[in-house]
């Protein structure tokens, strides 16, 4: 186990960075299990094995803690999509990498994915701003690749990017909710194949 995910004992000495990471893991588990409104700071402190004053030293309130948690995992998703768009292969391989980024995020961070896309706080402006910004960054990266490689103008490139991101998000979520009955590699191949058959109509114009 890493320092951030290992069970903590009350009073254990950790660096500020390690303690913050540990508190975020505890908060993720509590929020995912109870939802934002039902979760209490007491529950998170108990889960982390710290006193409430220690928790408040890092996060002055529940919303600040939740926003930090959303930002952490939204950034993780953006990083995965960025890596997919930087894939050195051809357009087909990059489309597959983009779909795989969402499936891998769901598989590795299932509860974090639910916090971002299924939160009972999704309608709150502070939480929505974090998620919406992450989605825009993902769409921007895909749109930039489409614009460069297919020579489309910005509105059309963004429309295709929204389609690819939306397809990846919805199908990855369904795959998780349905119990991963289709093996991950096969699921990614199926959905990236569907996406590619559409994107292939816009051939690469810049070698």
pLDDT (tens digit per residue) in 134-168: 999 999 998 888 777 667 788 888 998 899 899 99
Q: Where in the chain is the domain with CATH 1.10.357.10?
A: 65-199
User: End-to-end distance of the chain based on CA atoms, in angstroms?
Assistant: 45
Give φ, ψ of 47 to 5 degrees.
Answer: -60, -40
% of the chain at pLDDT higher than 70: 86
Q: Where in the chain is the domain with CATH 1.10.10.60?
A: 16-60
* pLDDT at site 95: 83
- List, in order, residues 6 or more apart from 101 with CB less than 8 Å away: 77, 80, 81, 83, 84, 168
Helix and strand element counts for the chain (H, E): 9, 0
Homologous superfamily in CATH for domain 16-60:
Homeodomain-like (1.10.10.60)
pLDDT tier for residue 9 given thresholds of 50, 70 and 90: very low
Burial class (CB within 10 angstroms; exposed 0-12, middle 13-18, buried 19+) of 86: exposed
Round to whole Å and give the CA distance between 151 and 136.
21
**C-alpha distances out from residue 173 to 41, 136, 178, Å:** 28, 19, 9
pLDDT tier for residue 1 given thresholds of 50, 70 and 90: very low
* pLDDT at site 30: 92
pLDDT tier for residue 180 given thresholds of 50, 70 and 90: very high
Instruction: Give the containing element (helix H, strand E) for 60.
Output: none
Determine how many CB atoms are found less than 10 A away from the CB of residue 89.
10
Determine how many CB atoms are found less than 10 A away from the CB of residue 183.
9
- Residues 24-76 have pLDDT tens digits of 999 999 998 888 889 999 999 999 999 999 999 999 999 999 999 999 999 99
For domain 65-199, the CATH architecture is Orthogonal Bundle (1.10)
**C-alpha distances out from residue 40 to 27, 67, 133, 152, Å:** 10, 15, 27, 49
44 with 30: CB under 8 angstroms? yes
């Amino acid at each position: 186990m890493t320092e951030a995910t290992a069970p903590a004992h009350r009073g254990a000495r950790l660096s500020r960075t390690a303690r913050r990471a540990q508190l975020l893991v505890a908060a993720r588990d509590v929020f995912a299990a109870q939802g934002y409104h039902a979760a209490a700071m007491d529950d998170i402190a108990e889960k982390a094995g710290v006193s409430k004053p220690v928790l408040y030293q890092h996060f002055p309130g529940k919303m600040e803690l939740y926003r930090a948690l959303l930002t952490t995992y939204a950034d993780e998703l953006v990083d995965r999509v960025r890596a997919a768009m930087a894939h050195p292969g051809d357009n087909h391989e990059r489309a597959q990498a983009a779909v795989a980024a969402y499936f891998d995020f769901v598989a590795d961070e299932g509860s974090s994915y639910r916090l971002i896309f299924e939160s009972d706080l999704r309608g709150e402006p502070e939480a929505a701003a974090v998620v919406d910004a992450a989605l825009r960054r993902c769409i921007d990266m895909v749109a930039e690749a489409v614009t460069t490689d297919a020579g489309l103008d910005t509105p059309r490139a963004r429309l295709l990017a929204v389609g690819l991101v939306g397809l990846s998000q919805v199908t990855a979520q369904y795959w998780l909710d349905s119990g991963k009955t289709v093996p991950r590699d096969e699921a990614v191949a199926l959905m990236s194949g569907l996406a590619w058959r559409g994107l292939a109509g816009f051939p690469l114009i810049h070698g």
